[in-house]
Chain A
Amino acid sequence: AQSVTQLDSQVPVFEEAPVELRCNYSSSVSVYLFWYVQYPNQGLQLLLKYLSGSTLVKGINGFEAEFNKSQTSFHLRKPSVHISDTAEYFCAVMESGQGGKLIFGQGTELSVKP
């Protein structure tokens, strides 16, 4: 069965510092990978996605992620964070042939401090 693990529940970081939010998954079939961001009391906004092609994916707000098939990882990175990046971040996996279902990781709370 597929699963998604976000290794850090909370990541505190200072403004303008780099950040990496880790995500690992397990699956026996091909997958699509996603990162979503959720601000308080709001729905999820798509940051970026990997469907095929280049393993380095660039998204909105200066975020990027790299798909590493051998390590089954899809870590999210940003070279310099802003206060406004404070939010909950979810990694999600969609297995092929599963009707488009997303399985989410537990979420990582990114807290950017001045």
Chain B
Amino acid sequence: GAVVSQHPSRVICKSGTSVKIECRSLDFQATTMFWYRQFPKKSLMLMATSNEGSKATYEQGVEKDKFLINHASLTLSTLTVTSAHPEDSSFYICSARTSGGGKDTQYFGPGTRLTVL
């Protein structure tokens, strides 16, 4: 199946700093990538849809100035958590969408554990 990577797998940062998370589709091109947030023992919450070459579409309640998304190429999307605070600590997961040949499917990265001290 299609492979999606995320980097870093875990990061610890101080309050007030910014953290960048990368999401790459390794063996396919993804015009659309998605960013999710997952709290402990909870389901995935869609944060935003990232489209290559255009602005991201954010879900209601997600601060676009805090969670900056850039989708610069067909294989890379980045999420930057700006001025991170402890409440931003969470598990962030990206996915990349395939849509060729009628096989519309999202493949997920392994996730990034963010801890803000």
Contacts and interface: CB of A to CB of B under 8 A. Distances in A.
Partners in one complex: yes
B44 A100 contact: no
A1 to B, nearest CB: 12
B43 A101 contact: no
Nearest to B33: A100
Given A43-B108, A44-B108, A45-B108, A100 B43 contact: no
Interface residues of A, number: 23
B25 to A, nearest CB: 13
A102 B93 contact: no
B102 interface: yes
Contacts of A49: 105
Contact of B104 (A36, A41, A44, A100): A100
A32 interface: yes
Interface residues of B, number: 27
- Across the A-B interface, give the 4 residue pairs with the lowest CB-CB distance, nearest first: A44-B108, A43-B108, A43-B110, A100-B97
Given A32-B104, A44-B44, A101-B49, 19 more contacts: A34-B105, A36-B108, A41-B91, A43-B93, A43-B108, A43-B109, A46-B1, A46-B107, A46-B108, A51-B102, A51-B103, A51-B104, A90-B43, A90-B44, A99-B32, A99-B57, A101-B34, A104-B44, A106-B42
Interface of A: 32, 34, 36, 41-46, 49, 51-52, 90, 94, 99-107
19 contacts: A41-B91, A42-B110, A43-B93, A43-B109, A43-B110, A44-B44, A44-B93, A44-B95, A44-B108, A46-B105, A49-B105, A52-B102, A99-B32, A100-B32, A100-B99, A100-B104, A101-B46, A102-B95, A106-B43
